[in-house]
Chain A
Amino acid sequence: MTKTRLRIIRMFKTLRHMPLVASLVLTAGLPVAALAWDDLEDAARGQQVFFNAWGGSEPINDYLLWAADEIADRYDIVLEHVKVGDTGDVVSRVLAERAAGRDEGGSVDLVWINGENFRAMKEQDLLYGPWTDRLPHYELLDFDNKPTLTMDFSTPVDNMEAPWGMAQLTFMYDSARVDTLPDSMAELLTFAQENPGRVTYPALPSFYGTTFVKQAMLELTDDPSVFYESANAVEDPAAELAPLWDFLDELHAVAWQQGRAFPQDAPQMKQMLNDGEILLSLSFNPNDASNAILTGELPDTVRTYVHSGGTIGNTHFLAIPYNASAPEAAMVVANFLMSPEAQARKADIEIWGDPTVLAIDQLSRDEQQLFDDIERGPAGLSDEALEAVLLEPHATWVPLLEDEWQRRYAR
């Protein structure tokens, strides 16, 4: 932003409460929405944003360091990455702040979130907003092809969180050890029976595990539409889930540790895949494997696949707690993270490989070039393979799944 423009904004800032001036501005044809955003960017200057985000991945931490540098240069905002092990910790902290009556000046300004954590915070009125439609880059989002941008695990987003990246359940395997791939949950069972002790999935309530079980649930029923209704509205939810439990019973009999132990989460499964302890691993990021090959974490023979019937896809978001200390700056940061430049860098498998939330065809030619320049990773999937996306089932099914899973397999 140039100095003159800044000065003009400051001038308007001092005058903005005067109706006369406001009408003058309007008549002069200046876009009010844009002015409001600039105004906000101005207010955000010098603020500090505590961005609470999972800190378990070096590529992601590196990416956020880059973003912090850029944001400091461009907006004079200090972005602090608070590395969290579990987003639940952040929810707890905001909750503790509300319990103590701190309704402003909270310790969290921006949080990386989705799914159940989002639903919980939204239902408990722990979020600031709606705000995302004020962001200039909001218009670039790919709402037409990505329904999960407005529906987060069946909870309406309602502009309370800004889309940041796309996720889809993807399986990984080592092509040096596996020839024929299962194309469905039924085939996965056969595969497991042929390779006893070499297939597993993360224990529930880890969301990786929950997604795997939801995927099985959707695939094993004749009529998946049931699961898109509230479980409370279904006559006999237990009957609907019966095929799932039969399947898991059979799977566990031949699974890793005979289903008496499970990995904690997907990163642990990635290790086990590298070690050959298991033959199939899973991830939410289709480019995870490519990135891991480049960093040496996985052998270069690892490839990925999805079921041709589709796999569950969702979006991860950025939200601002209701008591954030610097909501203006948090919005500026979110807007930057949604910019074509930041999104293209994030999608680069050498950086992170997280798919973009933007509609690439709506971008300028230069911006599109940024995305075109990204090389497809050694283990990347074709766009066609990724097009078969299943939506998350209705959120009310999750507690049913988790409780029954624990009753059956974790007692």
Chain B
Amino acid sequence: MLRRCLAAFPAVTAAVFIVPVVIGLIGTWLPAFGYLPALGAERLTWAHWEYLLTHPSVPTAARHTLISAWGSTLLSLLAALTLLALTWRSRTLRWLRRSLSGLLAIPHAAFAIGIVALLAPSGWLIKLASPALTGWELPPIFSLVRDPWAISLMFVLALKETPFIIFMTLAALQQLQVGRSLQMGRSLGYTEFMAWRRIILPQLLPLLRLPLFAVLAYGVSVVDLALIVGPSAPSTLAVLVDRWFNHPDILRRLPGSAGATLLLVLTVLSLGLWWLLEKLWLRLSRPHWDSGQRRSALHWLARPAEGLSLLLIGSALAAFMVLVVWSFAFRWGFPDPLPQSWTLRFWERGWTRLQQPFWLTLWTGLAAAVIGLVLVVGCLEHEVTLRRRRPGFTGPKLFWLIYVPLIVPQIAFLFGIQVVLVWFNLDGNWLALLWSHLMFVVPYLFLSLSGPYRNFDDRYVRQAMLLHGGEWCALSRVKWPMLLRPLCYVTALGFAVSLAQYLPTLYVGSGRFATLTTETVSIAGGGDRRLVGVYALTQWLLPMLIYSLALLVPAWCFRHRRGMRLQ
């Protein structure tokens, strides 16, 4: 009975999340070819593509997009891997692991605002050094942020994504039983670093493919971060397209749709290229696996890797601190190292102003995370049945579809979805909002839970069934409690994903739902950093709280169970 119920999960999950994306895409593709009857455009034409492809800003904007997306993906992968390889078993790693949840909880907009307040020509760093060290009475005229090559955007994206890649790598490593492989490698005389390169990496990369796809796709389509730290003349392609969708000249939505489609094409091409490169790397490096080389010339990387992890945690911490200082400032000019006068009024006001959004965000996030968890656990449990039926089975092909919302740029289907929702009178409805969040929560949950869940030793379940009968009992009293740690953790992750949704909340909610994120983004538009500090910190602290709970609850439950501790 239970098993038969489970069989429905994958189909339902996929249908609920894919059908709207497809409809949304069609609703974007038709305008791209000139069909949008609401504007009186009913003739199919290439004109909007022509406009797009001959637009003076598009080539550079596309270059910005590719540099920042590819650069940040490669950098964050490199950073995560070097960090893990060089700090494996060391104290640094344990330290990093502990701070990981804090890093994952960072809402990217808040992080970017903090980084700008830190690194801008008039940022905190230069304020602290001026005029005593630099002699500057005015901020310097060179700028580390918003550079015309999108390098700063790339770095901020990379900093933001590295914790996620580390998190996903740790999950994948557990699957690979790294400890044993490394021991073996070392017993054969390989340095630990070489053992990583020759033994672990070739197995690891395929496992990281999906998370990296998500990171790459995010880099191509990100709007808010690009607005805050990206170049401005022109901006990235996603920003350009977003502007057309909001352009006063309504007809710009037609080339806008073409632009959104181009973003999708760029994403798909990027993912394809990534896949090819991965294959190529494996093919090219295969002859070296048994070359017998046991030491690597790359050993000197150990130090920089430690530096990198410090930089990672340090920059998050510093971004956090600068927001804290700003939120209590009344007057803060250049080059004062600290505000001239302080005030509590922005917290007092922010607190009353944010109460409603706070509760809405909390309930929506929790609901999305819990429903998402039920759906994902249902799918994964069903997979167990399937795997028994067909050994060697790794999950139905259908599951790939769940990742579609992560990979398709949001702008490319949200307008279409909005039209459909309005059609069915579902816009501005909390359930519709919840569903739109689930669209993004479910794939992330799937991505992060499937590793630990698939790794679970199924014999525990068989044993429990033999001892007590009843599959439900075996799952609810043995399997899920044993998986409590990852279950709690991914619930917190799901919560953070729901919290971060900006465009879906705006489009699907018809502007009727104010969440911490929509409030922060709209207040960020006013540029008052003291208020932005208050909002961004609240938006940061809430997921941090949830993450801490997700760590503490299992830790407390199993405080007397050594076997349940993190290895």
Q: How many residues of A contact B (CB 8 A)?
A: 73
Task: State whether B422 touches A96 (Cβ < 8 A).
Answer: yes
Task: State whether A56 touches B525 (Cβ < 8 A).
Answer: yes
Question: Which A residues lie within 8 Å of B353 (CB)?
Answer: 61
Given A88-B246, A261-B147, decide whether A83 and B341 contact each other with a Cβ distance below 8 A: no
Question: Which A residues lie within 8 Å of B233 (CB)?
Answer: 203, 259-262, 409-410
B349 CB–A CB distance under 8 Å: yes
Which of B227, B247, B329, B512 contacts A107 (CB under 8 A)? B512
Question: Which B residues lie within 8 Å of A270 (CB)?
Answer: 527
B270 CB–A CB distance under 8 Å: no
- Distance between Cα atoms of A80 and B147 in the complex (Å): 39
- Distance between Cα atoms of A218 and B277 in the complex (Å): 54
Within 8 A of B (CB), among A88-122: 88-93, 95-102, 107-108, 115-117, 119-121
Cβ-closest chain A residue relative to B506: A89
Cβ-closest chain A residue relative to B525: A56
- Distance between Cα atoms of A115 and B249 in the complex (Å): 11
Task: State whether A296 touches B36 (Cβ < 8 A).
Answer: no
The number of residue pairs between A and B whose CB atoms lie closer than 8 Å in the complex comes to 194
Task: State whether B139 touches A267 (Cβ < 8 A).
Answer: no
Within 8 A of B (CB), among A247-305: 256-257, 259-265, 267-268, 270-272, 274-277, 295-297, 299
- Distance between Cα atoms of A407 and B422 in the complex (Å): 37
Question: Which A residues lie within 8 Å of B332 (CB)?
Answer: 274
- Distance between Cα atoms of A262 and B37 in the complex (Å): 37
Question: Which B residues lie within 8 Å of A89 (CB)?
Answer: 246, 506, 511
Question: Which A residues lie within 8 Å of B19 (CB)?
Answer: none
Interface string of A67-94 (1 = CB under 8 A from B): 0000000000000101111111111110
**Chain A: minimal CB distance from B265 (Å):** 21
B138 CB–A CB distance under 8 Å: yes
- Distance between Cα atoms of A260 and B331 in the complex (Å): 30
Task: State whether A407 touches B56 (Cβ < 8 A).
Answer: yes
**Chain A: minimal CB distance from B300 (Å):** 36
Which of A95, A196, A410 contacts B57 (CB under 8 A)? A410
Task: State whether B510 touches A116 (Cβ < 8 A).
Answer: no
Task: State whether A116 touches B418 (Cβ < 8 A).
Answer: no
Task: State whether A275 touches B122 (Cβ < 8 A).
Answer: yes
Interface 9-residue window, one of A1-9, A37-45, A47-55, A130-138:
A47-55
Interface string of B518-559 (1 = CB under 8 A from A): 110111111111110000000000000000000000000000
- Distance between Cα atoms of A108 and B510 in the complex (Å): 9
Task: State whether A88 touches B245 (Cβ < 8 A).
Answer: yes
Task: State whether B57 touches A92 (Cβ < 8 A).
Answer: no
**Chain A: minimal CB distance from B270 (Å):** 23
Question: Which A residues lie within 8 Å of B161 (CB)?
Answer: none
**Chain A: minimal CB distance from B123 (Å):** 9
- Distance between Cα atoms of A263 and B231 in the complex (Å): 10
**Chain B: minimal CB distance from A348 (Å):** 18
**Chain B: minimal CB distance from A247 (Å):** 17
A308 CB–B CB distance under 8 Å: no
**Chain A: minimal CB distance from B472 (Å):** 44
- Distance between Cα atoms of A58 and B246 in the complex (Å): 23
Given A91-B248, A262-B232, A410-B234, decide whether A99 and B141 contact each other with a Cβ distance below 8 A: no
- Distance between Cα atoms of A275 and B141 in the complex (Å): 12
A307 CB–B CB distance under 8 Å: no
B121 CB–A CB distance under 8 Å: yes
Task: State whether B422 touches A97 (Cβ < 8 A).
Answer: yes
Within 8 A of B (CB), among A375-411: 399, 403, 406-407, 409-411
B282 CB–A CB distance under 8 Å: no
Task: State whether A83 touches B519 (Cβ < 8 A).
Answer: yes
Given A89-B246, A272-B122, decide whether A99 and B512 contact each other with a Cβ distance below 8 A: no
Given A88-B246, A277-B139, A411-B59, decide whether A101 and B423 contact each other with a Cβ distance below 8 A: yes
Task: State whether A260 touches B428 (Cβ < 8 A).
Answer: no
Question: Which A residues lie within 8 Å of B183 (CB)?
Answer: none
Task: State whether B138 touches A56 (Cβ < 8 A).
Answer: no
Task: State whether A92 touches B141 (Cβ < 8 A).
Answer: no
**Chain B: minimal CB distance from A83 (Å):** 4
Task: State whether B250 touches A124 (Cβ < 8 A).
Answer: yes
For the side of the interface on B, what is the size category?
Answer: 35 or more
B148 CB–A CB distance under 8 Å: yes
**Chain A: minimal CB distance from B258 (Å):** 16
B334 CB–A CB distance under 8 Å: yes
A182 CB–B CB distance under 8 Å: no
Interface string of B490-505 (1 = CB under 8 A from A): 0000000000000000
Cβ-closest chain B residue relative to A61: B353
Given A82-B511, A264-B227, A410-B56, decide whether A275 and B139 contact each other with a Cβ distance below 8 A: yes
A129 CB–B CB distance under 8 Å: no
Question: Which A residues lie within 8 Å of B330 (CB)?
Answer: 296
Cβ-closest chain A residue relative to B510: A107
Task: State whether B232 touches A263 (Cβ < 8 A).
Answer: yes
**Chain B: minimal CB distance from A409 (Å):** 6
- Distance between Cα atoms of A262 and B231 in the complex (Å): 8
Task: State whether A50 touches B512 (Cβ < 8 A).
Answer: yes
- Distance between Cα atoms of A261 and B235 in the complex (Å): 9
Question: Which A residues lie within 8 Å of B425 (CB)?
Answer: 102
Task: State whether A107 touches B57 (Cβ < 8 A).
Answer: no
**Chain B: minimal CB distance from A293 (Å):** 10
A369 CB–B CB distance under 8 Å: no
**Chain A: minimal CB distance from B346 (Å):** 8
Which of A107, A197, A264, A276 contacts B427 (CB under 8 A)? A107
Question: Which A residues lie within 8 Å of B519 (CB)?
Answer: 55, 83
Task: State whether B231 touches A261 (Cβ < 8 A).
Answer: yes
- Distance between Cα atoms of A409 and B233 in the complex (Å): 7
Question: Which A residues lie within 8 Å of B18 (CB)?
Answer: none
**Chain A: minimal CB distance from B534 (Å):** 10
Cβ-closest chain A residue relative to B231: A261
Most buried by B among A87, A205, A299: A205
B279 CB–A CB distance under 8 Å: no
Task: State whether B122 touches A96 (Cβ < 8 A).
Answer: no
Cβ-closest chain A residue relative to B146: A261
Interface string of B405-432 (1 = CB under 8 A from A): 0000000000100111111010110000
Cβ-closest chain A residue relative to B329: A296
Given A57-B526, A89-B511, A411-B59, decide whether A257 and B143 contact each other with a Cβ distance below 8 A: yes
Given A93-B510, A277-B121, A296-B330, decide whether A99 and B419 contact each other with a Cβ distance below 8 A: yes
Task: State whether B341 touches A296 (Cβ < 8 A).
Answer: yes
B39 CB–A CB distance under 8 Å: yes
Within 8 A of B (CB), among A152-203: 177, 196-198, 203
Cβ-closest chain A residue relative to B148: A260
Task: State whether A268 touches B334 (Cβ < 8 A).
Answer: no
Question: Which A residues lie within 8 Å of B139 (CB)?
Answer: 275-277
Given A56-B523, A83-B518, A260-B148, decide whether A50 and B232 contact each other with a Cβ distance below 8 A: no
Task: State whether A406 touches B234 (Cβ < 8 A).
Answer: yes
Task: State whether B529 touches A271 (Cβ < 8 A).
Answer: yes
Most buried by B among A84, A100, A108, A399: A100
Task: Given A55-B519, A55-B526, A56-B526, output 20 extra A-B contacts at Cβ < 8 Å.
Answer: A56-B522, A58-B523, A82-B511, A96-B422, A99-B419, A99-B422, A101-B423, A107-B428, A117-B248, A120-B250, A121-B250, A198-B138, A264-B232, A274-B333, A274-B334, A276-B334, A277-B120, A406-B234, A410-B57, A410-B60
5 pairs, A vs B, C-beta closer than 8 Å: A85-B521, A99-B419, A277-B120, A296-B343, A407-B56
CB-CB nearest 6 A-B residue pairs: A88-B246, A116-B248, A56-B526, A267-B527, A275-B122, A197-B141
